[in-house]
Structure 1
Amino acid sequence: MIKANAIKLFLIVLSLFLTTSAFARNFLKTYPAPDGALLNDVFKVQVRIPGGNWQEIPTYLIKVDEVRGSKHHVENASMSFFDFSGEVEVQITSNNGPIELAKVRPLSYEIKPQINERTLRFKLYQPRNLSVELNNDIFHNLHLFANPLLKSVPNKNNPDVIWFGPGIHEFENEKLEVASGKTVYIDGGAVLRGQLLVHDAQNVKIIGNGMVEHTVKMGVHIANSKNVLVDGIFCTQCAIGGSDSVTIRNVKSISYYGWGDGMNVFASNNVLYDRVFCRNSDDCTTVYATRKGFAGGCKNITMQNSTLWADVAHPIMIGIHGNSENPDTIQDLTYRNIDILDHKEMQIDYQGCLTINAGDNNLVRNVLFEDIRVEDFREGQLINLRIFYNEKYCTAPGLGIENVTFRNVEYNGENANLSIIAGYNNEKKIKNLVFEKLKINGRLIHDKMEGKPPWYKTSDMARIFVGEHVDGIKFSP
């Protein structure tokens, strides 16, 4: 009897310990909107630790670009965010009528919301950057950013810290130059109405979960700098030129105006993008050589664990700009664990979710696309690899494209146009392409696949046109 009671007591203590530990792991931080912030009332968004009280979080106004025909239309969308660890519940109420259908994307996260008339609910177990879309409306959706907790907050009294607490902050001349050795902290309740410029600086950090407001074009600009970290914030664009050793982590970029590229790289080396979200009114992310006053090639550029949505142009674009008189090399690029939610471009010259277009005598080599999931986009191509002479932007064709691997690339959809792989001439070729585990609508495409007529090219089975001046292409299971 004593032994049984001891076992029972042990189980009770163990249960209490496990319950306490579970609550200890769950942590939620929300931020009220500052007075004067631009808000949108399409959604009511609430979050809570399971079993706790619901907390309503602000829904900010942002803008996106819808192309109808050849015309651009700016639409009002929404954005909310919070920080958490462990487990959190999300509840979203539509103020514009009942919910017939709801999607939470990327689809690869397999988040299946519960719907009850005007409300949907789901749980999250790790930080996620999401699009919540009701009744197939992708232009008035909710961009929901569930951020990780900040590991440390800098001391606001440190003279090397530029501290933006809750509130609206405006800059003289609408710009703030960040000097070497400075840390800019943007609280989750802070809204900046001006650019952050890191020019000719070293050892700079821009951190926090606040925002540079969507009204500010080119929210963050990094030029001729070294050892720069941008972590956690929202902005329209974040460009890097002539720089080395730059990390962009958990930055959310949404633009709506012409030439609204999200995250450009010009003539820079050792750049890491990790867990970024880009929805842009031009290319989401690019790697170019000599351009906009920055000179030289690019090396060691990585984007990983990220989500891309191109309302116009390319999700990923590499190679068009360089120095025709003194040719540049763009090399050692990695794109890994990426979800592409959309691609919309009617112009054939500017299509391609995964695009390398070598111009200006650029040589592009050693590129890896790995674990890429492409959802059904509206209009464009899955892949576009060309050495070309686009006279609108180039002064010469590219020199070559070499050693490109597509590993675990998967497309599910019906709207993709014919993909294109084409060199320029016998001196300017595309060489050594490898497709490993390419999957189109669930079908594995490889050189020995069943059902392929022996007189077909394997690329025909993937609807990829392989043109002239392409040497060495392999499809393996």
Structure 2
Amino acid sequence: MMKFKHRISRSLFMLFCLLTNITITLSANDKVKKLVVYPAPLGALLNNDYTVSVRLLNNKKWQSVPTHLIKVDKLLEAKHTVENSSMAYFDFEGEVEVSVTFNKGVINQAKIRPLSYAIRSNMKGNTLIFRLDRPRNLSVEINGDIFHNLLLFANPIVKNIPNRNDPNVIFFDAGIHEIGKEGFRVPSNKTVYIDGGAILRGQIRIEDVENVRVIGRGMVEHTVKMGIHIAKAKNVYVEGIFTTQCATGGSDNVTIRNVKSVSYYGWGDGMNVFASNNVLFDGVFCRNSDDCTTVYATRKGFEGGSKNVRMENSTLWADVAHPIFIGIHGNAEKPDVIEDIFYKNIDILDHQETQLDYQGCLAINAGDNNLIRNIYFENIRVEDFRQGQLVNLRIFFNEKYCKAPGLGIENIVFKDLSYNGENSEISVIAGYNEERKIKNVVFKNLRINGKVITDDMPNKPKWYKTGDMARIFVGEHVEGVAFTP
């Protein structure tokens, strides 16, 4: 038998739900199930394209989930246009049913992505109902519309909410917080908690500090460019919140976990890394109007190389430019090294770039005398994108952004990389000259539309390069490219 952990009258319960976060806890067979929904504060920017509700499995009562207004970038013939989209979120433990009602017409077709999650839905009129048994960051797309879709962030339950009376805790309660143009500067040795019903209208600045935590389920509103800025900081942890951008520069030992970045304006990179070491991205979601995630060396006043950067269990969607981009920026006079970079268990939902110089879902472009080495991609699933290349590895001299070509790209591994689609243009692997080469690139279990591409694959003519079978151009000044099972 299941029952509320705390019994209150129905009228009091309904009033409580309107004023504060809604938390429902059920127990069945000694297994606790929990659901937390955050009502939107007065003055929040909302979008009524969708009506979203959620309930714990086997619980009859649905809880309403607010749908917040966000904005995304739509590129039409090199012209950027801003479209209104929707975002909703809740926390849960156990299993839930989600109801999404499309308020603008009939549902003829629906997708829930990433497709690798294989989430099935039941359609009743203009409503979809589906189950989740674990936290997921999702895109719900109706009738093929990817610009007026619903981003649904089903989060884990917040553990160990800090004590608001602790002098080392800064607490943002539910409500609108006008931070101002200067932003909120987080002091050293502080924990900032942003309640799931809190909306910050101003930047969070983690600059020249150490031992900082910014956690919670609230948001930096989409109206704020560069929502989170981490600069010359050490020992930083950011978890759970929504923002436009989250850049890290000149920093060491930074963890970004379950942060959602959605941008719509020019130069709207999602999660940049500049001249930083020991940076971890875990479970992040990026939909951006420029590169989703980058690793650069010297750039924007931050000096030096980058080492030990890792992204895992994440989802990337580039409305413009690259989902993953490494290497273009550095110090041409005092060369930098970018090394030991890892990407694992990543879903790439989209990539659109008409400029040939800036294509590539997985792009490593060495400029500014950078040496780039020891880059590892594993279990990367690429869905069909609108326009671009799967892979782009180049040593080049891009005079618009660089003062010199790169020095080299070495020791690159693509393991369990898959692409399913029809829109990929020809990928490129090309060095610069005999002194500036690409060396030792391994594709292990590369799958293109289900076909495994290997050096000894059946039906490959002996005079073909294996890259020809995957539509990968392997050009000059490249050595040691292998395709293995």
Fold conserved between structures, TM > 0.5: yes
* CA-to-aligned-CA distance 1:216-237 (integer Å, 9 cap, x gap): 0000000000000000000000
The structure 1 residue matched to 2:38, chosen from 21, 24, 31, is 31
The structure 2 residue matched to 1:49, chosen from 49, 53, 56, is 56
Once the two structures are TM-superposed, the CA of residue 413 in structure 1 deviates from its matched residue by 0.1
Which sections of structure 2, spanning at least 5 residues, go unmatched?
A: 2-25
The structure 1 residue matched to 2:301, chosen from 287, 293, 299, is 293
Aligned-partner residue type, residue 293 of structure 1: G
Aligned-partner residue type, residue 281 of structure 2: Y
Matches of 2:181 and 2:29, distance apart in 1 = 49
Residue 223 of structure 2 is matched in structure 1 by 215
Residue 276 of structure 2 is matched in structure 1 by 268
Contact residue 229 and residue 246 of structure 2 kept, 8 A: yes
Once the two structures are TM-superposed, the CA of residue 174 in structure 1 deviates from its matched residue by 4.3
Matches of 2:343 and 2:29, distance apart in 1 = 35
Once the two structures are TM-superposed, the CA of residue 70 in structure 1 deviates from its matched residue by 1.0
* CA-to-aligned-CA distance 1:17-62 (integer Å, 9 cap, x gap): xx95457432100000000000000000000001221001100000
TM-score when normalising by structure 1: 0.95
Give the match's secondary structure for 1:407: strand
| Residues 85, 22 of structure 1: alpha-carbon distance in 2 compared, 3 angstrom cutoff | farther
Aligned residue pairs, count: 460
Once the two structures are TM-superposed, the CA of residue 111 in structure 1 deviates from its matched residue by 0.5
1:345 aligns with 2:353: yes
Once the two structures are TM-superposed, the CA of residue 171 in structure 1 deviates from its matched residue by 1.6
Taking only the aligned residue pairs, the percentage that are identical comes to 67
1:239 aligns with 2:219: no
Matches of 2:314 and 2:88, distance apart in 1 = 18
Give the match's secondary structure for 1:108: helix
Matches of 1:445 and 1:411, distance apart in 2 = 12
* CA-to-aligned-CA distance 1:397-422 (integer Å, 9 cap, x gap): 00000000000000000000000000
Matches of 1:317 and 1:96, distance apart in 2 = 37
The structure 1 residue matched to 2:126, chosen from 118, 127, 130, is 118
Give the match's secondary structure for 1:349: helix
The structure 2 residue matched to 1:370, chosen from 373, 378, 383, is 378
Residue 196 of structure 1 is matched in structure 2 by 204
Matches of 1:457 and 1:206, distance apart in 2 = 50
Alignment of 1:417-428 (within 5 A): 417-428=425-436
Once the two structures are TM-superposed, the CA of residue 173 in structure 1 deviates from its matched residue by 3.4
Matches of 1:270 and 1:233, distance apart in 2 = 21
Contact residue 26 and residue 88 of structure 1 kept, 8 A: no
Residue 452 of structure 2 is matched in structure 1 by 444
Which sections of structure 1, spanning at least 5 residues, go unmatched?
A: 1-11, 13-18
Give the match's secondary structure for 2:384: coil
Matches of 1:293 and 1:70, distance apart in 2 = 30
| Residues 359, 47 of structure 1: alpha-carbon distance in 2 compared, 3 angstrom cutoff | same
Aligned-partner residue type, residue 470 of structure 2: A
Contact residue 136 and residue 155 of structure 2 kept, 8 A: yes
Give the match's secondary structure for 1:361: coil
Aligned-partner residue type, residue 410 of structure 1: S
Alignment of 1:176-191 (within 5 A): 176-191=184-199
Aligned-partner residue type, residue 240 of structure 1: T
Alignment of 1:72-471 (within 5 A): 72-471=80-479
Give the match's secondary structure for 1:300: strand
Matches of 2:333 and 2:464, distance apart in 1 = 41
Give the match's secondary structure for 1:378: coil
Matches of 1:55 and 1:227, distance apart in 2 = 38
Once the two structures are TM-superposed, the CA of residue 116 in structure 1 deviates from its matched residue by 1.2
Residue 7 of structure 1 is matched in structure 2 by none
Matches of 1:273 and 1:118, distance apart in 2 = 36
Aligned-partner residue type, residue 66 of structure 2: P
Once the two structures are TM-superposed, the CA of residue 175 in structure 1 deviates from its matched residue by 0.5
Give the match's secondary structure for 2:179: strand
Once the two structures are TM-superposed, the CA of residue 151 in structure 1 deviates from its matched residue by 1.3
Matches of 1:417 and 1:452, distance apart in 2 = 20
Matches of 2:290 and 2:39, distance apart in 1 = 32
Matches of 1:148 and 1:110, distance apart in 2 = 20
Contact residue 166 and residue 189 of structure 1 kept, 8 A: yes
Matches of 1:26 and 1:101, distance apart in 2 = 32
Residue 14 of structure 2 is matched in structure 1 by none
TM-score when normalising by structure 2: 0.94
Give the match's secondary structure for 1:152: coil
Residue 8 of structure 1 is matched in structure 2 by none
* CA-to-aligned-CA distance 1:83-117 (integer Å, 9 cap, x gap): 00110100000110111110000000000111111
Give the match's secondary structure for 1:228: strand
Contact residue 27 and residue 33 of structure 2 kept, 8 A: no
Contact residue 174 and residue 193 of structure 1 kept, 8 A: no
Matches of 1:184 and 1:240, distance apart in 2 = 18
Matches of 2:30 and 2:121, distance apart in 1 = 23
Residue 9 of structure 1 is matched in structure 2 by none
